[in-house]
Amino acid sequence: MTERKPGIGTKLVEGGRRKEWRGRLVTPPVERASTILFDSVADLENGTPRLGEYRYGLQGTATHWALSEALTQLEQGAAGTALFSSGLSAITGTLLALLSPGDELLVTDSVYGPTRRFCDTILKRFGIVTTYYAPLIGADIADLITERTRAIILESPGSHTMEIQDVPAICAAAADRDVVTVIDNTWATPLFFPALSAGVDITILAATKYVAGHADLLLGTATATAKYFTRIQRTAWDLGHAVSADDAWLALRGLRTMAVRLKQHQENALTVAGWLKQQPRVGQVLHPALADCPGHELWSRDFKGSSGLFSFELTGANDAERAAFVDRLDMFGIGYSWGGYESLALPVNPIRTASTAPADNLIRLHIGLEDPDDLIADLAASFAAM
């Protein structure tokens, strides 16, 4: 009999539910701990920190290990998942694990703003040089790789402007020169883009968004191949990164329903984006599943779906008019982050140093799980008042 590989929905339901961690409960419980007690000094001194072994709160408890294991199982070829206290700290912790003074780093120009800030301030202070590249560079990234290039950061789609990158081409060029690739895969998650299968070495999620799914916690994850996992996990501990057991448990609860939530975010966002496309005051709709979005053909080639976040251009609007458009919305919250069950709207201003943004005058929407007709009515009222 050939062994069946479980589907993604099954993995989300079963991941991390080892009997030794959950006993007779369905779900591994919240195990809060700083101190772990040993039977003797010899026992305490015996062994090294590792996931799955009680040692000190920093190394986690069954609650954390269950979340790590469930996430690792979503990526083929993954050796493990390190947990961090936020999406941003997963990115910065991973970079600190990989880079040394004198190294060069290539970063997509569409990168999440605080990642750019970390590169331009703290990494710069430690003698690491960042070069930004055009998100659509593809295989031509090879021309930017020097003897000193140690890592390439990808984010697909990019923050605010949503460009889809040619991840396999960039990773192939990197692998040729033994350069490590790191992707911020928060938008797609492994469900819509299994990053390690596309050639990426380390994939990062701001689990704050779709994994948690309820806008009530901060958490980051770095899932890596065997070549890099131990180094990243060790660095996370050396830096003292810890995640509360309550947050790990909530994230694990969120993960169980991520597939159904993402399906609905996808459907609702496509309905709203399609409607926006028909509106006279709307220019480009930067949604990876629509032809307006740079790299749309790569999305069609590589992705299994689209989530709830996209941007659109409010043509001819100045900053005050964009702000007024958002202020008038009733159903869309105004605030940072995304990936929760609720809809959000924000005027955004892309930062570019190495390329041109596809559009300005952008408003970013996160489409939640409300009825899309209600969201459309709210948007229509704000257009009508313009």
Residues in contact with ligand PLP by CB under 6 A are: 86-88, 112, 159, 184, 186, 206, 208, 218, 220, 337
Closer by beta carbon to ligand PLP, 109 or else 184: 184
Burial class (CB in 10 A: 0-12, 13-18, 19+), 34: exposed
Closer by beta carbon to ligand PLP, 15 or else 158: 158
Rounded to the nearest 5 degrees, what angle is found at the Cα of 362, between the Cα atoms of 360 and 368? Answer: 155
**Cα 250 from Cα 334, distance rounded (Å):** 24
Query: Could you tell me which residues are beta bridge partners of residue 202?
Result: 182, 224
- Cis peptide preceding 6, ω within 30 of 0: no
Closer by beta carbon to ligand PLP, 218 or else 363: 218
Q: How far is the CB of 50 from ligand PLP (least distance, A)?
A: 25
Closer by beta carbon to ligand PLP, 87 or else 358: 87
Residue type, 280: P
Query: Could you tell me which residues are beta bridge partners of residue 130?
Result: 105
Q: Which residues of 302-332 are buried (b: 16+ CB within 10 A; e: fewer)?
A: bbebbbbbbbbbbeebeeeebeebbebbebb
Q: How far is the CB of 88 from ligand PLP (least distance, A)?
A: 4
Q: Which residue minimizes CB distance to ligand PLP?
A: 87
- Could you tell me which residues come within 8 angstroms of residue 45 by beta carbon, excluding any fewer than 6 positions away? none
Q: How far is the CB of 212 from ligand PLP (least distance, A)?
A: 9
Q: How far is the CB of 209 from ligand PLP (least distance, A)?
A: 7
Q: How far is the CB of 279 from ligand PLP (least distance, A)?
A: 25
Q: How far is the CB of 17 from ligand PLP (least distance, A)?
A: 25
Closer by beta carbon to ligand PLP, 215 or else 326: 215
Closer by beta carbon to ligand PLP, 173 or else 207: 207
